[in-house]
Amino acid sequence: MSEKAKKTEKTFVETRYYNSPEGSEFLLESGIILKDLKIAYETYGELNPDKDNAVLVCHALSGDAHAAGFKRGEKKPGWWDDMIGPGKAFDTDKFFVICSNVIGGCRGSSGPNSVNPATGKPYGLSFPLVSIRDMVRAQKQLMDFLGIQRLVAVSGGSMGGMQALQWSVEYPDMVASCIPIATTYKHSAQQIAFDEVGRQAIMADPAWNGGDYYEKNHPSSGLAVARMIGHITYMSDSSMENKFGRVLKKEKLGYEFATEFEVEGYLRYRGDSFVKRFDANSYLYITKAMDYFDMQKDRSLSFVFKNVKARFLVIAFSSDWLYPPYQSKEVVRALKMNGVDVTYCEISSDYGHDAFLLEFKEETKLIGHFIKNTYKKIRKAT
């Protein structure tokens, strides 16, 4: 089969589940214990006999374990299908790629919409708050379950990049290379502010009912507004101008409070489609975890990375104003101060933060070569 045919061949996948041993306890960073941990995950490619060809891909805020391929009965592929598969950046002819839904999420892993065994009802706000570090430690349990002791690479964009960075410092002996994309080592005041506006939109919806809405009407209006706000930050001024400008949905202005501009209709569509697949409480939990994220705390950033052993490929995008390139450069500077093998690439793009999902041709060139080179080093060393 030709390389082109491999890239276009439809691959069907199914979501699997890891359940921690019955009665086991997972200690969260907050000090609260979460029982009976559950993780939804998908895998692509084959794990070789040496179990040394594994790559972990981490998803962003609204993502899930379905990163590539097609689920039967669904028309759209996984959220990073352009990057994962035969001959792609994460080449499944060579690597075993894993993606799991984060804890606190709503797509199969333990989260606020999970059933609390003590009550037989969804947790709602009784589910404990989680952190990025908790997400990574849960993923480590999944790796142990799969028998993987070393990862060729850990990668992800946005919140996925935060997880990748956390992996590099949390389990330095396990990560051979780290590829954080369009991300940061801590949320700034502006990033926290945008998240808080989204949370307030959800909590202001009367249907939210203090998080107890699972057997009632869901806070769809609040969640849709939160998504609309978020989506504005994912695009750039130029991408919105190029895509919409001031184009009207009708021939002329009606001078009324209706959807008159194309950009208004687009945002409403994004908000309405989002509520069909995402849980409002999970939006609260995951954005809060991102806001808590601060690898530096009261230490120097160079100190944070002093024990890392991974090679790094740090990727940023010129028009990303949600996670601007200067934040990636600060990570690169701290890594270089520790003598870490790090390459920084800033891709010129008008897509804004969404570029990590759209600029797959440029990313493929960079990541594909980087991972293969890393794997060669691993094989040579062993």
Tell me how far CA of residue 187 lies from CA of 99, 137, 194, in angstroms.
Answer: 24, 20, 11
Q: What is the DSSP string of 50-106?
A: T---EEEEE--TT--S--SSB-TT-SS--TTTTTEETTSSEETTT-EEEEEPPTT-S
State the residue for tokens 């041993």.
21
The C-alpha atoms of residue 163 and residue 346 are separated, in whole angstroms, by 20
Backbone angles phi, psi at 86, to 5 degrees: -60, 125
Helix (H) or strand (E) holding 154: strand 153-157
What tokens does 350 get?
């008008």
Does residue 281 contact residue 125 with C-beta atoms inside 8 Å? Answer: yes
The C-alpha atoms of residue 57 and residue 165 are separated, in whole angstroms, by 12
Give one word for 182, left, alpha or beta, with left for phi > 0 and alpha for psi -120 to 50: left
Backbone angles phi, psi at 298, to 5 degrees: -100, 20
Could you tell me the end-to-end alpha-carbon distance of the chain, in angstroms, rounded to an integer? Answer: 32
Residues annotated as catalytic (active site), given as ranges: 158, 320, 353
The C-alpha atoms of residue 97 and residue 86 are separated, in whole angstroms, by 11
Q: How is the chain split among helix, strand and coil, in percent rounded to 5?
A: 40, 15, 45
